[in-house]
Amino acid sequence: AQRVTQPEKLLSVFKGAPVELKCNYSYSGSPELFWYVQYSRQRLQLLLRHISRESIKGFTADLNKGETSFHLKKPFAQEEDSAMYYCALRTGNQFYFGTGTSLTVIP
């Protein structure tokens, strides 16, 4: 069963434009959601997690239980944001990842 869906495989935005990477999940319990990022030639790393309600590198993500979504947003995209982004759901000790969205920020 697909637990995490990222509908966009590729997303391109211009520098300075707002960006939103979509993530929807299916889980009947209380979800714990994460965004991971992989920059070119670097390892996959945590960007942010919903429970912390933090803003990292200008990115925020709000958990919307009604819409079962956890979209990642940034008001002004920067070239260094170009990367692969994965949404992930944790249930117990198991993680489920989406298929990823490749973001390209055009200078």
Candidates 51, 62, 64, 75: give the one binding another protein (CB under 8 A).
Answer: 51
- Asked if 8 interacts with another protein (CB under 8 A), we say no
Provide the terminal-to-terminal Cα distance of the chain, rounded to the nearest Å: 38
Q: Please, are residues 84 and 100 in contact by the beta-carbon 8 Å criterion? A: yes
Q: Which residues contact 14 (CB under 8 A, 6 or more apart)?
A: 77, 105, 106
User: Rounded to an integer, what distance in angstroms lies between the CA atom of residue 93 and that of residue 107?
Assistant: 40
Q: Which stretch binds another protein (CB under 8 A): 15-23, 54-62, 69-77, 82-90?
A: 82-90
Question: Judged by CB under 8 A, which of 7, 9, 75, 104 binds another protein?
Answer: 9
Nearer to another protein by Cβ, of 5 and 78: the residue is: 5
Q: Are strands 10-14 and 101-106 parallel, antiparallel or unpaired?
A: parallel
Q: Name which position in 28, 52, 67, 107 contacts another protein (CB under 8 A).
A: 52
Interface positions with another protein (CB under 8 A) = 6, 9, 32, 34, 36, 43-46, 49, 51-52, 86, 88, 90, 93-100
